Homo-oligomer: A and B are copies of this chain.
């Protein structure tokens, strides 16, 4: 029950980083959504390792195969299963991790939970699990775009202490993709490249913040009380590996404003209320108001680093670990399509919910 997300637009992901395959079953995608493998593949390629020297050098083609639910180029309304074979498995590369708990990784907690674990590459806790999310979200992206004109975009807002200047109202996908850092601020991007390479050289890693925006969401999505839009967006994004914080609109910084400063006045525009400012982040009372929905997510520095760290073996003895293998010194660039995926899946779910009642 842990790998199923959504109530109406529902994805069920599967697969370990070093098993035969990863993938997803999308149940609840409306019928008639045009499906182009190339579009899904393009989203997967943004998530893929090895795409630039900034990220892990695992070489994985991540070629997606559609197994069901598509007929004559469009969804039929039945489950869409998508499969990506794991190509560049090197299970032996993880033998040195079999008997030791990597600090701040899921090794110990999985063993505590299940009484056993698949030590190869983190198994299910690996970022490779997000392949299924991204593939499923590609369907959501197409449907939300075609039917509602919704556009979802994320970017690297900050790495370590290097902050990008990004206007969430105007930033474009082209600006984001212009740099392998996915930071659309050119100056910051350059410094981020240097910082990531320095971290790699020193056997260390960096964290940071991803910004996101959803444009074109009509007023009325989201639900009162438990399934507020910010609650469900938060859950989706916080379920990503290494994510430790989420905020919408003015977020934590907005708590330093007074009500008079923070409230978003309405003005009439063509007889309709429009927000003058948007500290709300496009959501009021848990429901969208027609303004851009934006926020930020915190990603901790990658846990797997080459430097030596103190830890404990499964037998309970103190030891020292220095990770081998190919790892991201900074997950931020690859986290961008993952954040988009969770925003898209959440919005698609709420779009269907709203359709149910109207």
Contacts and interface: CB of A to CB of B under 8 A. Distances in A.
A246 B184 CA distance: 25
Interface in A283-314: 283-290, 298-305, 307, 309-312
Contacts of A244: 230, 247-252, 254-255, 281
Given A209-B252, A235-B234, A305-B260, A286 B5 contact: no
A206 B262 CA distance: 10
List the 5 closest A-B pairs by CB distance, nearest first. A106-B285, A205-B259, A245-B247, A271-B316, A2-B223
A2 B263 contact: no
B68 A16 contact: yes
B104 A263 contact: yes
A298 B81 CA distance: 31
Interface in A148-182: 158, 160-161
A12 B2 CA distance: 12
Interface string A131-144: 00000000000000
Nearest to A9: B1
A231 B238 contact: yes
Nearest to A288: B109
Contact of A77 (B25, B80, B129, B357): B357
A279 interface: yes
A46 interface: no
B25 A114 contact: no
B263 A103 contact: yes
Chain A interface size, under 10 / 10 to 19 / 20 to 34 / 35 or more: 35 or more
Contacts of A256: 160-161, 207
A231 B235 contact: yes
B301 A262 contact: yes
A144 B74 CA distance: 32
Interface in A258-279: 258-268, 271-273, 276, 279
Interface in A1-28: 1-5, 7-8, 10, 12-16, 19-23, 25, 27-28
B230 A232 contact: no
B259 A208 contact: no
A82 to B, nearest CB: 10
A76 interface: yes
Residue in A15, A65, A81, A299 with the greatest tally of chain B CB atoms within 10 Å: A81
B223 A255 contact: no
Given A226-B239, A261-B301, A273-B311, 16 more contacts: A1-B8, A12-B79, A16-B68, A67-B83, A77-B113, A103-B264, A104-B280, A106-B224, A108-B289, A109-B287, A158-B255, A160-B258, A207-B256, A226-B235, A232-B235, A245-B255
